[in-house]
Amino acid sequence: MVSKHSVDGEAVSLNLNNAETVLSSSDIAVVNFYADWCRFSQILAPTFDEAGRKIQEELSTPGSVVFAKVDCDREGTLAARYRINKYPTLKIFRGGVMMKKEYRGQRSVDALVQFAKDESKPSINDLQSMDELNSLDMKKLHIIGYFDSKEAESFRTFSRVASILRDDCQFHAAVGPISVNERAATGDRVNFRSSDTTDQGNQYPLVLTDFDSLYKWSTEKCTPLVREITFENAEELTEEGLPFVILFHHPDDSTTPTDFRNRVQQEAAHEKASVNFLVADGLKFAHPLHHLGKSAKDLPILAIDSFRHMYIFPHPVKQGLNTDGLLKKFIEDLHSGKLHREFHHGPDPTPPAIEVIASDDKPEPDSNTKNVPRDDVRTQPQEQKITSPPESTFKKLGPSRNRYTILRDEL
């Protein structure tokens, strides 16, 4: 698709009247959400406009990539639609759909142009041989399509989905004679594959030309319940605003992450909207471990970062992940405030069982000492030690005030 709005190479000013048309008529749109009064927006503005001009000169298909901008003071409704909470924010759109990730790279003309070029590369790996499927990187998630022709409506629908979800999955297509055996029984088809699955039982079950259905199915497959956090995606994960339930593991340990994923799936999948389940390389994320008073020799470690404090799973990790209910209770204790309360005030008091004495045997008061026996002496709570949990580490990896004008204090 070629946007007539961008062939002159200048960044297009978006408003409520033209935004949908401009964004949907371009393959890729890089949009600068800014405010004139923001110092960082002022610094970026000439760089962004120059990058927009340069990319049109260098692309073989001018207009396939659009650089656009939104004045968030003038277009407050548009800014609110895309949940802008800091200035300047550079969002990426594909076929009119806003991507989860933002541009967070160097803010120079060359860097922006290179980013746009990388984003415009094909979203689908064209397989030359079915043998290529045997060498897929199984640390990643894969959507594989088998098609008779690239001219088919099913392939065009697949291509659109691949363009939108390319950051979450790797898309592959076997087209023509090389996939004839795979299409013999059902015709064109699409399958999901990961380290935990094979094509068997993971075939898209509906009509391939139905974009909404294929997009929904692919999104569910490409957005796993448990994700990996890296230094590259930490900022965007923190911006989702959900507490982290995070497993730090040794990179050579594949068993514990698998146990964690299985346990989350079994008893905490319903928590997906309230917490982020993550795994992390414990060697790369040594600083959060140090913050918790731990080191690589203590791996694996399971913890919650609430963006206020960090809490360690109170059980041996391997045992805990293989015991029903412990992970679920750990998350429930976060939601109820118990983790925070106990860190500040010590363990919640648990009244012991009170020994019941029959009335006939109840001792009489000692008239000399005037001491009256009291059963409730044994139930007095012990003095609570005031403690403080470690402060959040991952909150510090969120958007920096040295780079953005941030509008929401909770970030």
Among 19-23, 167-171, 281-285, 372-376, the range scoring the smallest mean pLDDT is 372-376
Q: How confident is the model at residue 345 (pLDDT cuts 50, 70, 90)?
A: low
pLDDT of 387:
55
Residue 286 has pLDDT above 90, yes or no: yes
Task: State the average pLDDT over residues 25-50.
Answer: 95
- pLDDT band for position 384 (50/70/90)? very low
pLDDT at 102 over 80: yes
φ, ψ of residue 173 in degrees (nearest 5): -135, 130
**Res 146: pLDDT:** 97
Alpha-carbon distances, residue 16 vs 27, 49, 67 (angstroms) = 20, 21, 17
Q: Which residues, at least 6 apart from 288, have a Cβ–Cβ distance to it below 8 Å?
A: 248, 280, 303, 305, 310, 393, 394
Average pLDDT over residues 273-295: 94
Res. 372: pLDDT tops 50 = no
At 398, the pLDDT band (50, 70, 90 cuts) reads confident
* Cα distance between residue 399 and residue 406, in whole Å: 8
**For range 137-162, the mean pLDDT:** 95
Cα 16 to chain center, whole Å?
Answer: 29
pLDDT at residue 139, rounded to an integer: 81
Check residue 193 and give its pLDDT.
93
Task: Compute the average pLDDT of residues 64-86.
Answer: 93
| Predicted confidence band of residue 347 (pLDDT cuts 50, 70, 90) | low
Give yes or no for residue 371 having a pLDDT over 70: no
Residue 1 vs residue 79, higher pLDDT: 79
- 97-102 and 89-94 beta bridge pairing: antiparallel
Cα separation of 343 and 367, whole Å?
A: 45
Q: Quick one: CA torsion of 204, 210, 214, 216, rounded to 10 degrees?
A: -130
pLDDT at 356: 45
Q: Which residue has the higher pLDDT, 124 or 409?
A: 124
pLDDT value at residue 6: 45
Pick the more confident residue, 363 or 113.
Answer: 113
Let me know: does 1 contact 64? Beta carbons within 8 Å: yes
* Residue of 72, 112, 38 whose CA lies nearest to 403: 38
Q: Which residue has the higher pLDDT, 239 or 180?
A: 180
User: What pLDDT does 386 receive?
Assistant: 45
CA nearest neighbour of 41 among 351, 406, 361: 406
Q: Are 173 and 200 in contact (CB under 8 A)?
A: no
* pLDDT(309) > 50: yes
The residue-averaged pLDDT of 59-63 equals: 68
Note the pLDDT of residue 85: 85
**Mean of per-residue pLDDT scores for the chain:** 86
Whole-angstrom distance, CA of residue 112 vs CA of residue 118: 10
Q: Is 241 left (phi over 0), alpha (psi -120 to 50) or beta?
A: left
Signed CA dihedral, 51, 93, 2, 148: sign only: positive
Taking residues 81-104, report their average pLDDT. Answer: 90
Q: Above 50 in pLDDT, residue 361?
A: no
Q: How high is the pLDDT of residue 341?
A: 82
pLDDT at 26 over 60: yes
> What's the pLDDT score for residue 200?
62
Q: Give the domains, in start order, of the chain with CATH numbers.
A: 12-119 (3.40.30.10), 124-222 (3.40.30.10), 226-347+391-397 (3.40.30.10)
pLDDT digits (tens, 9 = 90+) for 203-253: 999 999 999 999 999 998 998 899 999 998 898 899 888 999 999 999 999
Instruction: Write down the pLDDT at residue 399.
Output: 82
